[in-house]
């Protein structure tokens, strides 16, 4: 089977890891790298052995005619990049959040649907090995019917050191990292019917929020608390970027704890096993479990673009996650519970 040829837009911090993850996927090959800063694209292309370098996205798509485009750019450029690929009839993958508002995202999804252009969001968090293991254990129903859960990613990690531009985002934590936790909540427990959010700012030199808590009520009756934070307050135990999850069910509990330990407790006792991520030489040890999750995510997206599997994180699906993000901001602004609509 021939490889899918793709063009990547963006040569910034995340592009190096995203493109390295693609190199682990036998069915795809990056044949062109495009960035408005051509020197950045040239440096990364040399490092990763990518033949084509461009600084004009329109010309890149016109000349290369790739099988798909992977948009690894900053948030503000997601919409125009996806729209460009759609005009060329090229399937497109975009980073989260796909747009700066629900209305923009809805228009983007609608436009791609009308043009029959597949749109996917690179939502890799749910593809982490320990989270997939917890999902399998949850689906086995040995703990009975879930009724309460907590998903936690609170860290003292200096996130602004590698991504200083995040300081200027007026909607930071929930839109940048919390979106992953909210998507994980959907992945594990289904759609939410309402949510309540509180958020605050600890850093004095940033525009947006760096601490937040979101409480979801799922349509299945599970109360899910998502705790998130980048307060950089020298936490005694910092396992960034591990996600800790506790699920209580009618017949037991599941806990994804530090160092990837998954514990299942029922009337038969507690059974524990480690579910560590694979290790890749190109991954930054500070982001290891997240970088490793890019590989199965990309493998799945490759199969979805080929039509061999239904996509998990299509534009339509991720739109539901994005609605949770903006409902959280609405809730915090009005200090009220927000009811969610289904479409």
Residue pLDDT, tens place only, 82-133: 999 999 999 999 999 999 999 999 999 999 999 999 999 999 999 999 999 9
Short-list 264, 262, 288, CA closest to 131: 262
Short-list 314, 309, 302, CA closest to 29: 302
User: What angle in degrees, to the nearest 10, is found between the helix axes of 129-139 and 288-306?
Assistant: 70
Mean pLDDT of the chain: 95
pLDDT of 237 reads: 56
For the stretch 12-25, pLDDT in tens is 999 999 999 999 99
Separation CA 75–CA 137 (nearest Å): 35
For the stretch 140-189, pLDDT in tens is 999 999 999 999 999 888 889 888 989 999 999 999 999 999 999 999 99
Percentage of the chain beyond pLDDT 70 is: 98
pLDDT of 1 reads: 67
Separation CA 207–CA 66 (nearest Å): 38
pLDDT of 46 reads: 97
CATH class of the region 4-121: alpha beta
For the stretch 285-307, pLDDT in tens is 888 999 999 999 999 999 999 99
Side-chain-facing half-sphere of 12: CA atoms under 13 Å = 15
Percentage of the chain beyond pLDDT 90 is: 90
pLDDT of 343 reads: 66
How far from the centroid of its chain's Cα atoms is residue 246's Cα? 20
Its CATH architecture, for the domain 125-287+312-339, is: 2-Layer Sandwich (3.30)
pLDDT of 157 reads: 87
Separation CA 315–CA 313 (nearest Å): 7
Q: Look up the pTM and report it.
A: 0.95
Both tokens of 132, joined, read 């997939």
Lowest mean pLDDT among 41-55, 151-165, 250-264, 327-341: 151-165
Separation CA 97–CA 71 (nearest Å): 12
How far from the centroid of its chain's Cα atoms is residue 33's Cα? 22
pLDDT of 286 reads: 86
- How far is CA 231 from each of CA 169, 174, 276, 289, 332, rounded to the nearest angstrom? 15, 13, 26, 21, 18
User: 41 and 35 in contact (C-beta within 8 Å)?
Assistant: yes
Which residues have a Cβ under 8 Å from the Cβ of 61 and sit 6 or more positions away? 7, 69, 84, 85, 88, 90
How far from the centroid of its chain's Cα atoms is residue 60's Cα? 26
Cis preceding linkage at 97, omega within 30: yes
Both tokens of 291, joined, read 């970088």
Domain ranges of the chain: 4-121, 125-287+312-339
């Amino acid at each position: 089977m021939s490889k899918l040829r793709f063009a990547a837009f963006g040569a910034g911090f995340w592009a190096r890891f995203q493109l390295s993850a693609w190199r682990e996927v036998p069915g795809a090959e990056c044949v062109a790298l495009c960035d408005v800063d051509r020197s950045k694209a040239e440096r990364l292309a040399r490092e990763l052995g990518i033949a084509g370098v461009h600084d004009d996205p329109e010309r890149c798509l016109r000349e290369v005619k790739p099988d798909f485009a992977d948009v690894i750019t900053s948030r503000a450029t997601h919409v125009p990049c996806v729209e460009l690929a759609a005009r060329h009839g090229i399937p497109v993958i975009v980073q989260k959040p796909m747009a700066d508002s629900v209305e923009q995202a809805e228009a983007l999804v609608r436009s791609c649907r009308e043009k029959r252009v597949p749109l996917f969001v690179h939502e890799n968090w749910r593809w982490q090995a320990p989270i997939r293991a917890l999902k399998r254990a949850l689906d086995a129903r040995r703990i009975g019917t879930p009724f309460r859960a907590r998903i936690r990613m609170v860290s003292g990690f200096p996130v602004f050191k590698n991504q200083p531009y995040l300081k200027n985002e007026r909607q930071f934590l929930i839109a940048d990292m919390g979106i992953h936790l909210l998507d994980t909540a959907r992945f594990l427990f289904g759609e939410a019917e309402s949510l309540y959010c509180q958020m605050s700012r600890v850093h004095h030199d940033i525009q947006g929020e760096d601490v937040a808590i979101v409480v979801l009520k799922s349509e299945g009756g599970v109360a899910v608390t998502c705790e998130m934070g980048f307060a950089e307050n020298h936490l005694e135990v910092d396992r960034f970027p591990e996600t800790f999850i506790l699920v209580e069910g009618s017949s037991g509990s599941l806990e994804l704890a530090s160092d990837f330990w998954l514990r299942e407790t029922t009337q038969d006792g507690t059974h524990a096993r480690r579910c560590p991520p694979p290790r890749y030489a190109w991954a930054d040890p500070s982001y290891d479990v997240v970088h490793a999750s890019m590989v199965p995510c990309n493998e799945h997206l490759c199969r979805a673009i080929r039509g061999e599997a239904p996509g998990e994180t299509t534009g339509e699906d991720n739109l539901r996650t994005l609605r949770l993000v903006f409902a959280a901001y609405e809730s915090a602004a009005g200090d009220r519970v927000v009811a969610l609509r289904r479409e």
